[in-house]
Structure 1
Amino acid sequence: MTTLLTGEKNTKTLVLASGRAHPELAKDVARELGVDLLPTTAYDFANGEIYVRFGESVRGTDVFLLQSHTAPINQWIMEQMLMVDAAKRASARTITVVVPFYGYARQDKKHRGREPISARLMADLFKTAGADRIMSVDLHSAQAQGFFDGPVDHLWAMPILTDYVRGRVDLGNVTVVSPDAGRIRVAEQWAAKLGGGPLAFVHKTRDITRPNQSVANRVVGDVEGRDCVLVDDLIDTGGTIAEAVKVVLAAGAKSVIVAATHGVLSDPAAQRLSECGAREVVVTDTLPITADKQFGQLTVLSIAPVIARAIREVFDDGSVTSLFDGNS
C-alpha cells in the first residue's frame, strides 16, 4: 500500500490488488507505482467455484483491482467480480476495476436478432458487483465506454507502440495500413505519429456466422516499394492479420511490421504469424504471452508504465486524458 497525505486530518490510501490471470503485469505495475501488491488469497474449489479473500484491511482505501481477461476468460472475469464484491463488503472507499484487456469487448452490438450485447452486460455486472470506475486499454470500440454507469478511463497503447515502431522503419517511406475500412481513423492517428505518410487499407469480407474468419481481398492505396505498418487493436487467431500481410506484400510492399495492442494469440496464431511474411509483430503485454505463443518475429512491449501513470492520475484526482494528448 501507499499513503498520500492530503491534509492535517485526512489521508488517502492507494491499494493495488491483482487476480491470478496475469501476475507478472501486476508486479510490474506495482513496481512502477512504488507500492506493494495487497496480499490476496484465491483458489478454486473442486467444482470450479472461486474463493477470494484480502489479507489486509481495505477499509476507507482507494482500491484498484487489476485483472486481464485472458483464457480461461470466464474464470478470470468471475474472480475479478468476486474481488470487487469483497472490497465493497470490506468498506473500501472507492473501487476501480483495471482491465487491461476487456473481455467480450468485441460483442458490442447486435449483428443479428436474438443476440446479446455482451460488452454491455459485462459493464452492468461490474457495476452491480460494486465497481465505481473502470480502466481499460484500447477498447475494441469507443462506444463501449458508454456501457458503464460511471467513469471509464480509456487508455491508449499507441504512444508506446509508435515510439518503438518509429525506430524500426524509414519514416520517409512508410505507409500505415488498416486491416479493414473500419479502422481508418486509428490508422490516421498512427500516420500522424509516424510523420504523416500515406494510408492504405485492406478490403476484406467477413461471414458473421463464423467466428475468427474473414477474407482479405485486396489493398486500397499505394504500398508498392514502401515500409508498411499494419495496425490493429488485437490479434486473436491471427488469420485476419496474416492474410492482410500476404495481400500487402503481394501488392509490392517492401516490408510489413504488424503492431497491435492486445496479443490474444489463440492457437494457431503463432504459426500463422511466423509464416505470413511479416518482418516483425509488435504487441504489448496487456495479456500474458506464454512460451507456446511466442515466435521469432514477436516483440512484446510493457504496458505497465501506462497503467501505473493512469492509476496515479486517478488517485491524485488528476487528468488521465492529459496522458494521451487528448486522444483518450
Structure 2
Amino acid sequence: MSKMMVFTGNANPDLARRVVRQLHIPLGDAYVGKFSDGEISVEINENVRGKDVFLIQPTCAPTNDNLMELVVLADAFRRSSASRITAVIPYFGYARQDRRPRSARVPISAKVVADMLDVVGVNRVLTVDLHADQIQGFFDMPVDNIYGSPVLVDDIQAQRFENLMIVSPDIGGVVRARAVAKSLGVDLAIIDKRRPKANQSEVMHIIGDIEGRTCILVDDMVDTAGTLCHAAKALKDHGAAKVYAYCTHPILSGRAIENIEGSVLDELVVTNTIPLSAAAQSCTRIRQLDIAPVVAEAVRRISNAESISAMFR
C-alpha cells in the first residue's frame, strides 16, 4: 500500500484536487476552518501515522491566514506521527522580502517563514518558480524549486506565434526569459526600468530590435500589473506588432485588473498556482493554464525518491 497522502488547506483546493487526479489517489480528509474569534481551526480526519504527507498550500492572499493554515496543519501532521511532511507551496509568499536593502531596519521575512516551517516539523519544501533561487538557503531542509516554464513554453508553441521575440521586463528576469527564449529558439530583448516607489514602475529603455515583432513578456509573477502594462506600452511605442505576457503566479492585487483592461497588452497568460478572483476570471484578456501535471509529477518523484532535476532536462 502506498504511503503517499495529499492534503490541502483553503488556499487552492482546486489545484490540490487536480493534483490527486493526476496521481490517482483520493484527497486527504482534513477540516480547516476558523474559531469564532478568527483563529485557525484544524483537525485531521484520518490516520496519517507513518504516512508520506504532502500538504498543498500556496501562501497567497489572504497571505497570513493561508500561512497560518499551513503551519498549524503541519504541526497537526507531526503530532499525528506522519513519517514525512512535505509542504507543497506553489506560490511562496513573503519571497520578495529576502534581504535588507541599504541596511534598512526591516525584517528578512522569507527567512522568518522558512524558520516557521522548520519549527512545526516540515521536512521538505516543494515550490514553483521561487522569486529568488537563493531563498533555498534560508531553509535547513531540502527545497525543490520546480519550474513553470515548460507549461508556458508548451502553450507558446501551441499558439504558433509569428516573428516571435521573448522579452524580459527587467534586468533581474533575464535568466528566466533567456531560458524560455532558448527553449523556443528565438531572440531575446530586455527592458531596463526604474522603480521610483513600491508597486510602481517606469519603463526607460528597450535593449533589442522589436520592430514588427510579436513580443512575449516573461516573468515569475504579476502583482499590480504595473510593470507589464508599462512594458507593453513601451514595446508597442517602439513598433511591436503584438504584446503578450506569460507569468507563473497571478497575484493580481490592487488595481491589477483595471490596469490590464486599460492597457495595450493583448493577453496575459498565467498558471493556477494561485486561484483567480471572480474579476480576473471574467477578464477576457487573462487566460489560465494548468500546472497540476507538473506539480503531481514532482510529488510522485519525491515520494518515490526519484530525481526532480530530470524533469527539466
Instruction: Find out whether 1:123 has 2:123 as its counterpart.
Output: no
User: Which amino acid letter does the alignment assign opposite residue 127 of structure 1?
Assistant: D
Distance in 2 between the 1:124 and 1:163 partners?
36
Distance in 2 between the 1:190 and 1:104 partners?
25
Instruction: Find out whether 1:62 has 2:52 as its counterpart.
Output: yes
Counterpart residue number, 1:9: none
Higher deviation after alignment, 304-313 or 267-276: 267-276
Distance in 2 between the 1:258 and 1:128 partners?
38
Q: CA deviation at 1:270?
A: 1.2
Distance in 2 between the 1:71 and 1:84 partners?
19
Counterpart residue number, 1:276: 263
Change (3 A) 1:169 1:268: farther
Is residue 53–residue 86 contact of structure 1 (8 Å, CA) maintained in 2? yes
Is residue 63–residue 96 contact of structure 1 (8 Å, CA) maintained in 2? yes
Q: Secondary structure at the match of 1:96?
A: strand
Distance in 2 between the 1:203 and 1:308 partners?
36
Match 1:232 to one of 219, 222, 245: 219
Identity %: 41
Distance in 1 between the 2:161 and 2:255 partners?
31
User: Which amino acid letter does the alignment assign opposite residue 189 of structure 2?
Assistant: A
Match 1:205 to one of 189, 194, 198: 194
User: Which amino acid letter does the alignment assign opposite residue 229 of structure 1?
Assistant: I
Cα displacement string for residues 122-176 of structure 1 (whole angstroms, at most 9, x for unaligned residues): 11110011000000000001101111111101010100101101222435x2111
Is residue 165–residue 216 contact of structure 2 (8 Å, CA) maintained in 1? yes
User: Which amino acid letter does the alignment assign opposite residue 71 of structure 2?
Assistant: M
Distance in 1 between the 2:293 and 2:75 partners?
27
Counterpart residue number, 1:223: 210
Distance in 1 between the 2:31 and 2:166 partners?
45
Instruction: Find out whether 1:304 has 2:295 as its counterpart.
Output: no
Distance in 2 between the 1:169 and 1:277 partners?
21
Q: Secondary structure at the match of 1:31?
A: helix
Is residue 85–residue 122 contact of structure 2 (8 Å, CA) maintained in 1? yes
Structural mapping, 1:231-270, within 5 Å: 231-270=218-257
Is residue 60–residue 92 contact of structure 2 (8 Å, CA) maintained in 1? no
Counterpart residue number, 1:191: 181
Moved over 2 A (4+): 167-171
Is residue 179–residue 230 contact of structure 1 (8 Å, CA) maintained in 2? yes
Distance in 1 between the 2:203 and 2:174 partners?
16
Cα displacement string for residues 159-203 of structure 1 (whole angstroms, at most 9, x for unaligned residues): 0101101222435x21111000111111111111111x2211111
Is residue 227–residue 253 contact of structure 1 (8 Å, CA) maintained in 2? yes
Q: Secondary structure at the match of 1:167?
A: helix
Instruction: Find out whether 1:89 has 2:79 as its counterpart.
Output: yes
Match 1:50 to one of 17, 36, 40: 40
Q: CA deviation at 1:275?
A: 2.4
Q: CA deviation at 1:22?
A: 1.0
Instruction: Find out whether 1:145 has 2:136 as its counterpart.
Output: yes
Distance in 1 between the 2:214 and 2:139 partners?
40
Distance in 2 between the 1:315 and 1:187 partners?
31
Distance in 2 between the 1:174 and 1:74 partners?
40
Is residue 124–residue 142 contact of structure 2 (8 Å, CA) maintained in 1? yes
Q: CA deviation at 1:298?
A: 1.1
Segments of structure 2 that go 5 or more residues without pairing to the other structure are none
Q: Secondary structure at the match of 1:323?
A: helix
Q: CA deviation at 1:274?
A: 2.2
Change (3 A) 1:278 1:169: farther
Q: CA deviation at 1:83?
A: 0.5
Q: Secondary structure at the match of 2:159?
A: coil
Counterpart residue number, 2:309: 321
Counterpart residue number, 1:7: none
Is residue 169–residue 227 contact of structure 1 (8 Å, CA) maintained in 2? no
Q: CA deviation at 1:301?
A: 0.3
Is residue 134–residue 153 contact of structure 1 (8 Å, CA) maintained in 2? yes
Is residue 223–residue 252 contact of structure 1 (8 Å, CA) maintained in 2? yes
Counterpart residue number, 2:126: 135
Q: Secondary structure at the match of 2:117?
A: helix
User: Which amino acid letter does the alignment assign opposite residue 46 of structure 1?
Assistant: S
Q: Secondary structure at the match of 2:101?
A: coil
Across the aligned residues of Structure 1 and Structure 2, the Cα RMSD in angstroms comes to 1.1
Q: Secondary structure at the match of 2:202?
A: strand
Instruction: Find out whether 1:35 has 2:25 as its counterpart.
Output: yes
